[in-house]
């Protein structure tokens, strides 16, 4: 390894685990009103978006994360027309949503306009023109405040936020109170999709707490995982709904993929869906254990 620490990026996976990435080039480094932001080119994963010192996505494997976050929810819904996105500054989550020919309106709320501007400049291949799509409605405000004030409901609500860091911009969007608000803003067959943190069995605090908190609000909650190399291993997600059974046969998923005109998917299909929701026994056991509820008065902070 190079002895020059400036040529290595230290990505803190957890309090006790750090992943090193060689830095070929720092394309941008700055600080917004809400968080630090860097765009770096790494040796293994190409260009990466880094917020508050943590890799949020890499050009090599961002399709895995964004397809895993978006596609199971939208495919599980019989006809998603209205979608709400909290976060997702790269525009890749919005990109995946707009691939669906059923979607008529996508409302994206990201409080940090500088992150979006920076990603448009340095990572345009992530959004692929999604910000300019006539179905897109972009707001720079607090997602929780927007949902509290608006009266409309959505078929899909996607929570694509940074992990809950103390004094960070997202920690109050992981709480029971927030999920109750989301429930009020979903249509009868609506689905919420949440990125839920590491699914490595030594680092399950966030995943298990998000799952447990969602279960206190929604009658149907489905945890799943997929390996994301740039994140250092398996990553957890949750779908939740009031009514829908979100587990389907691979053949039905592939049929819906074809009907929706999803020709650009590189990761997700019927077999991948089945694999993501087929959790290993140790993970099933750990998620079934009683764990903490995340609330406004007792929020979850990672690394604390």
- Residue 304: per-residue pLDDT: 45
Q: Residue 4: what pLDDT?
A: 64
Catalytic residues: 160
Kind and range of the H or E run holding 3: none
Residues 13 and 105 grouped into a single domain: no
In a domain, 303, yes or no: no
As for how many domains the chain has, the answer is: 2
Return the CATH number at 189. Answer: 3.40.50.150
In a domain, 200, yes or no: yes
Q: Are residues 47 and 151 in the same domain?
A: no
CB atoms within 10 A of CB 194: 28
Q: Looking at the structure, do residues 160 and 22 belong to the same domain, yes or no?
A: no
Whichever domain contains 46, its CATH number is 2.30.140.10
Please check whether residue 243 is in contact with residue 220, taking contact to mean a CB–CB distance below 8 angstroms: yes
Show the domain range for 193: 62-288
- What's residue 244's pLDDT? 81
In a domain, 133, yes or no: yes
69 with 19, same domain: the answer is no
pLDDT tens-place string over residues 94-109:
999 999 999 999 999 9
Residues 6+ apart with CB under 8 A from 175: 213, 294, 295, 296, 299
Which residues in the chain show pLDDT less than 50?
1-3, 304
Same domain, yes or no: 52 and 176: no
For residues 140 and 218, what is the distance between their CA atoms, to the nearest angstrom? Answer: 28
Whether 68 and 182 map to the same domain: the answer is yes
Residue 256: in which H helix or E strand, if any? helix 250-259
């Amino acid at each position: 390894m190079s002895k020059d620490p400036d040529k290595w990026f230290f990505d803190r996976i957890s309090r006790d685990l750090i992943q090193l990435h060689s830095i070929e080039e720092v394309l941008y480094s700055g600080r917004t009103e809400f968080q630090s932001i860097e765009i770096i080119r790494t040796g293994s994963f190409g260009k990466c978006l880094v917020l508050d010192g943590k890799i949020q996505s890499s050009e090599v494997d961002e399709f895995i994360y964004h397809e895993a976050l978006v596609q199971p929810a939208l495919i599980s819904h019989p006809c998603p027309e209205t979608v709400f996105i909290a976060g997702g500054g790269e525009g890749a989550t919005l990109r995946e949503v707009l691939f669906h020919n059923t979607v008529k309106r996508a409302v994206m709320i990201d409080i940090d306009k500088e992150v979006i501007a920076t990603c448009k400049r340095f990572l345009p291949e992530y959004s692929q023109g999604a910000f300019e799509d006539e179905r897109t409605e972009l707001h720079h405000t607090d997602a929780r405040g927007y949902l509290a004030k608006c009266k409309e409901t959505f078929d899909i609500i996607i929570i694509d936020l940074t992990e809950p860091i103390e004094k960070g911009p997202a920690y109050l969007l992981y709480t029971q109170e927030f999920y109750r608000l989301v429930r009020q803003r979903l249509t009868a067959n609506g689905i919420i999709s949440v990125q839920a943190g590491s699914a490595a069995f030594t680092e399950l605090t966030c995943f298990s707490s998000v799952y447990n908190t969602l279960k206190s609000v929604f009658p149907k909650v489905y945890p799943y995982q997929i390996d994301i190399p740039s994140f250092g291993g398996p990553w957890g997600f949750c779908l939740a709904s009031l009514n829908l059974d979100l587990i389907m046969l691979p053949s039905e998923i592939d049929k819906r993929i074809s009907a929706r005109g999803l020709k650009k998917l590189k990761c997700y299909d019927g077999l991948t869906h089945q694999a993501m929701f087929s959790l290993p026994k140790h993970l099933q056991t750990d998620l079934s254990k009683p764990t903490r509820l995340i609330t406004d008065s007792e929020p979850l902070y990672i690394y604390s």
